[in-house]
Amino acid sequence: MVLDCPETPPAPSSPHRVVALVAPNQELYPVTSASAVFGYHGPDIPQHYSFSLCAEIPGSLSTTLGVPIQVDAGLEAIDDAATVVIAGWSWTLAPSPAVLQAVSRAHARGARIVAVCAGIFVPAALGLLDGRRASVHWELSGELAARHPRVILDDTVIYVDHGDVATAGASAATLDLCLHQVFQEYGAAHAMRIGRQLAAGPHREGCQRQYPPLPTTGPMPDSLAPLLEWLLSRLPDHVTVEDMAAFSGVSPRTLTRQFAEQLGVPPARWLLERRLAATRALLEETDLPVETIANRVGLSSAVNLRRRFHTALRTTPAAYRRSFR
C-alpha cells in the first residue's frame, strides 16, 4: 500500500514541500489526512504544496490497520522540507538520535514542525516546546509531563500553533490543523476550496475541545454538526441564540453549555468567526464592495464589518484585500 500522492501537473512555481515522518506500527488516519490537504486537488485548485513520506528506515512499514505501507525515502527527505509532519509515534519508545538530529536541523533552518498525537514527543525531546503551550492528547498528558516537565500541556484543546511548531492532541485534529496551515499561508478562500472538495465539516479552531471520557454515565449529548451546517447556510440572516436553541430542540442555556463543552466558545462567538472567515474569502476572491459583503455574511453594515474585522485581525478589509489579491 503506497500513500504518496499521485503524479501532479507541474506547478507554476516551486511548491511548499511537506514531508510526513512515519514510523513502524503507524496510524494511517493522520497520514491520509495530511495527504488529503497537501496533496493534488485537480486542475481547478492551485497546487501550492507537494506531499511525500519518509521513515528512519525506509521499506515496508507496519500500520495499525494491519496493511503495510511502502516508504522509499529516508531521513534525508527532511533536509529540504518546508513542513515536517510527525504523523504519530510510539510513545513507549524514545525518538532515536538520528530522528532528533534530522528534525532539529529542519527546525533550525526554518522548517515548520507539525506534531500529531504521540508525535509531540519528538519536538518535546528537542526542547522546542519548553516554556510553550502544546496540545496533547489527554491519554498522553501524564507521561509527557513526567518526561518533559517544562512543556505547558493543554489536554483540552485540539491544536496549538506557534508558527514554527504546531501540535495536535488527537489524530482527528490533523485535518483541522493542516487546513489551518493552508488558511494562514494562502488565505481563507484557498482553505475553503480544499475543505469543500474534501467534504470536510466546518473547520474547527484550535481552541475547540478534545473529548476525554465523561465523568458521569449516561448518553453523550447529540452532535452539534446539524446545527453548525444550518448556521453556515444562514450566514446572511439574523440568527439569535434562541433561534439556534429552537432548531436544536434545547434551551438556550443548554445550547450555550454544549458549545462551551464541545467547541470551547459561546454560540455567538462561533457564528461571528464563521462570518469573518466568509468575509476573508470574499475579500480574496471578489471585488464586491464591503457593504455588499457585510450583507452577504450577516454583519449588517460596512461599519460593523470593519469594526469586527479590525478587532479580530488588527487590519482593515481594504488592506487585507490588497495583501491577498
Q: Could you tell me the residue ranges of all domains in the chain?
A: 16-197, 225-324
Residue 188 in contact with residue 281, Cβ under 8 Å? yes
Strand 159-161 and strand 83-86: the pairing is: unpaired
- CB half-sphere exposure, 98, CA atoms < 13 A: 8
Cell 494562502 belongs to which residue? 186
CA angle (269 as vertex; 266, 272 as ends), nearest 5: 155
Helix, strand, coil proportions of the chain in percent (round to 5)? 45, 15, 40
Nearest to 146 by CA among 185, 224, 94, 220: 94
Are the C-beta atoms of 63 and 87 separated by less than 8 Å? no
Closest to 167 measured CA to CA, from 102, 55, 86, 100: 86
For residue 241, give Cα distances in angstroms to 64, 231, 274, 282: 42, 11, 15, 26
Low-confidence residues in the chain, pLDDT < 50: 1-12, 201-203, 206-221
Q: Which CATH class is domain 225-324?
A: mainly alpha
Are 183 and 281 a contacting pair, CB within 8 Å?
no
Cell numbers placing 121: 514527543
Q: What is the pLDDT of residue 92?
A: 58
Query: Taking a C-beta distance cutoff of 8 angstroms, is the pair 3, 10 a contact?
Result: no
Axis-axis angle for helices 225-232, 241-248 (nearest 10): 130
pLDDT reported for residue 105: 96
Fold entry, domain 16-197: Rossmann fold (3.40.50)
pLDDT at 254: 92
Helices 28-38 and 174-186 cross at an angle (nearest 10°) of: 20
Is-same-fold flag (16-197; 225-324)? no
Please give the pLDDT value at position 199: 59
CB atoms within 10 A of CB 163: 7
Per the prediction, the chain carries an average pLDDT of 84
> Rounded CA gap, 236 and 233, in Å?
8
Q: What pLDDT score was predicted for residue 216?
A: 29
Q: Checking DSSP bridges between strand 152-154 and strand 16-22, what pairing results, if any?
A: unpaired
SS (H, E, C) 92-122: CCCCCHHHHHHHHHHHHCCCEEEEEHHHHHH
Number of continuous H segments (helices) and E segments (strands) in the chain: 13, 10
- All three cell numbers of 35: 495527504
**Distance between CA 102 and CA 108 in Å, rounded?**
10
The CA radius of gyration of the chain, in Å to the nearest whole number, is 21
* Confidence at residue 8, expressed as pLDDT on a 0 to 100 scale: 35
Instruction: Please give the pLDDT value at position 14.
Output: 81
pLDDT at 58: 94
